[in-house]
Structure 1
Amino acid sequence: MNSYRAISELAFPDGVRGLQFDDDMQLASELAATVAEALRRAIAKRDTACLVVSGGRSPVAFFQRLAQQRLDWARVTVSLADERWLPVSHGDSNEGLVHRHLLQGQAAAARFIGLYRPAATLEEAAQAADHALAELPPIDVLVLGMGEDGHTASLFPASPNLSQALDPVQPVRCFAMQAPSVPHQRLTLSVSLLAKARRTLLAVQGQGKLRTLRRAMGGVGDEAMPIRSFLRRPLEIHWCP
Structure 2
Amino acid sequence: MAISDLKLPEGVNAHTFKNPAILAEELAKKVAGQLNAAIGAQGVATLVVSGGRSPVAFFQSLIKQPVDWSKVVVSLADERWVPVEHADSNAGLLKKHLLQGPGAKARFVGLYNVAANLDAAAEQADRALAELPPIDVLILGMGDDGHTASLFPNSPNLLEALKADGERRCWPMLAPTVPHQRLSMSRSLLASARNTVLSIQGQAKLNTLNEALAGTDIAALPIRAFLQPTLEIYWCP
- The one-letter amino acid of 1:58's match is S
Residue number among 70, 75, 79 corresponding to 1:83 in the alignment: 79
Deviation at 1:26, TM superposition (A): 0.2
Deviation at 1:135, TM superposition (A): 0.7
Residue number among 66, 73, 97 corresponding to 2:69 in the alignment: 73
> Aligned partners of 1:222, 1:182: CA distance in 2, in Å?
24
Structure 2 stretches of 5 or more lacking a match?
none
Displacement over 2 Å in runs of 4+: 181-184
1:3 paired residue number: none
Deviation at 1:234, TM superposition (A): 2.0
Residue number among 100, 106, 112 corresponding to 2:108 in the alignment: 112
> Aligned partners of 1:33, 1:187: CA distance in 2, in Å?
29
- The one-letter amino acid of 1:209's match is K
> Aligned partners of 2:7, 2:13: CA distance in 1, in Å?
9
Structure 1 stretches of 5 or more lacking a match?
1-5
Deviation at 1:237, TM superposition (A): 0.3
CA-to-aligned-CA distance 1:78-127 (integer Å, 9 cap, x gap) = 00000000000001100000010001111110000000011111000000
> Aligned partners of 1:33, 1:70: CA distance in 2, in Å?
9
The number of aligned residues is: 236
**Within 5 A, what are the aligned runs for 1:1-241?**
7-241=3-237
> Aligned partners of 1:28, 1:234: CA distance in 2, in Å?
20
Deviation at 1:15, TM superposition (A): 1.7
SS in 2 for 1:52: strand
SS in 2 for 1:117: coil
- The one-letter amino acid of 1:36's match is A
SS in 2 for 1:201: strand
Scaled by the length of structure 2, the TM-score of the pair is 0.98
Percentage of matched positions with identical amino acids: 61
SS in 1 for 2:156: coil
Deviation at 1:232, TM superposition (A): 2.7
SS in 2 for 1:200: strand
Contact 2:46-2:72 within 8 A present in 1 as well: yes
